[in-house]
Structure 1
Amino acid sequence: MSAELLGTVIVITVAMGFNYTNGFHDAANAIATSVSTRALTPRVALGMAAVGNLLGSFLGSGVAQTVGKGIVALPENHASLGVVLAGLVGATIWNLITWAFGIPSSSSHALIGGLVGATIFAAGGVVKWMGIVEKVVLPMFLSPVVGFILGYLVMLGVMWIFRRGNPGKLNRGFRIAQTVSAFGMSVGHGMQDAAKIMGVVVLALTVGGFHEGNGIPVWVNFLTAAVLAAGTYAGGWRIIRTLGRRVIHLGPPQGFAAETTATSVLVAATSFGLPISTTHTITSAIMGVGATKRLSSVRWGVAGNIVMAWFLTFPAAGGMAMLCFFAIRPFFG
């Protein structure tokens, strides 16, 4: 086995490890509201998330190309595989730290921060700062604001339209409606987070000399979606408890409004190839929906911890990836 092939296999294996931890974080976000409102059982929600992620992975090619080619540029050689590996390891470490505390930080920004941190000192590596500002930093700040405002407005609309409805019947109806909104959220998650992982895998295949062009091999879609589902099943319930119960108590109408809002934002961003965070999007939508009750109904202390993790994720994952790069570099010289 050649050094390039071995290095590529190692990088893809670690990418799937990161993907598995992504299941702890972001795939859990996609089903958190439906499970917490008891609209879906965990087993049904998990199956829905798996199917939705697979479908969405085929629709997120624009996001995959942004992550694979719009963030960093690396020469096609064995050393570049070490850069990608260091970025993945740094992002994975940060994912595990935040998962241990039940904080829904952004796996997306951990991944991008890791790639940037590992590339800074890499020979021949170029960080595309303008692309990062336009396609990562600005959406990072705008998507939670849009999610909060849109969630607030959607929930107000739901409350006004059904203001004279019977609460019991409405809850039953919205539990059924959440089947649709939860599936939409899972598809949106696949369009974003599965696509980001696929972008990294294609980047590894490209710098290793095993792939050309902009297409994504079909096996990469299926492998990514399967590992995401496995990660969600294994450890996603910590994040579900944080989003579904600790930030604000959700009922079926609130869950439907939050999921519909988040899905709309994710689909819109994907259409422009913008890799936004599903974590930021669903969390801000939940806060916006909760604010329609009264501002005090949102547990702002928990929300503040989440926001702090958002700001720390990019530099923290980048710093860890930088340290990993110096440790890994001798093996990829």
Structure 2
Amino acid sequence: MRAFACDNCRSLIFFENDRCFTCGHEQGYDRSVGALVSLDHTSLERCANADLIGCNWLTKSGGLCECCLLTRTRPADTDLAGMAAWRLTEAAKRRLAYQLDHLKLPTTPRTEDPEKGLAFDLLSSAQQNVITGHADGVITIDLAEGDDPHREAMRVKLAEPYRTMLGHLRHEIGHWYWQVLVDDTPFIDRFRDLFGDDRESYSDALQEHYGKPDDNSWADTHVSHYAAAHPWEDWAETFAHYLHIRDTTETASWYGLRVDGPSLDLAVSWDAEIRVDPVEDVENFDELARSWIALKLVLNQLNRSMGKDDLYPFTLTPAVLDKLRFVHVVVTSHR
């Protein structure tokens, strides 16, 4: 995420802001320029969801913004718990949409392409049984995942080292991008070399995955245990991690972060200015990986200093880096 400045007083403001807390000018996100702008300096209007869920995006019509329009189903106004969870989920979805725009990835809505377009069904499991997942461009999210105790309980139950709403969104939209960017394209053969044969039965693979204990045999070749379930899940997990890495390194770059130490005889090259925004060509994945490995070591130690678990509790083995490189090539080649 880039650093934003108020276009009135040049004070630092953040992506979620709807006003500058230094000069008081109301702010909104203008998707067409990828920036927060003062409402005094634009003819755009606030999204119709501004008061309801705190959306700070702007629109020409005064109706719903383009990000909110991607949501096909949302909780009823009378579902107070669902409404609170919907607010948190839309905030994560706006961050996702910003990153997809930055990467110049398509976000064609279902309303424009009824068969293959993108839509989000944001459902409350307090009202019905909800399974988070993806089906041909329709992403279903259990809004209970916006509740910290519920999400933590699920993380422990499934023995996952990391679980967030933004992580869910990045994983599930990864399934859609496999269909849009990889399936039936020249990339499919290389995909099968790296990830496996996607034509294997998905239901049988999941049944086998959940029916056997985790013996850690996946660790050398997959970014997570769930990634080992099926090539589709391996792609979605790897795609999500690519977005994690890109967002974090971009943020570090905008804030001028450097990793210069410690001064030890280590295999890691520490003199690493985090200046990476590798969107322009496919050749600079190595710089992204180098920056991220140095950065994540520091971030993990900072978390431990606060008594928290590692921010990024994953190991990027050579096989996983090859898969991440493939995702990078697919994304940047599309651009």
Q: The TM-score by the shorter chain falls in which range? A: under 0.3
Q: TM-score, normalised by structure 1?
A: 0.24
Query: Greater strand share, 1 or 2?
Result: 2
TM-score by length of 2: 0.24
The structure with the greater share of residues assigned to helix is 1
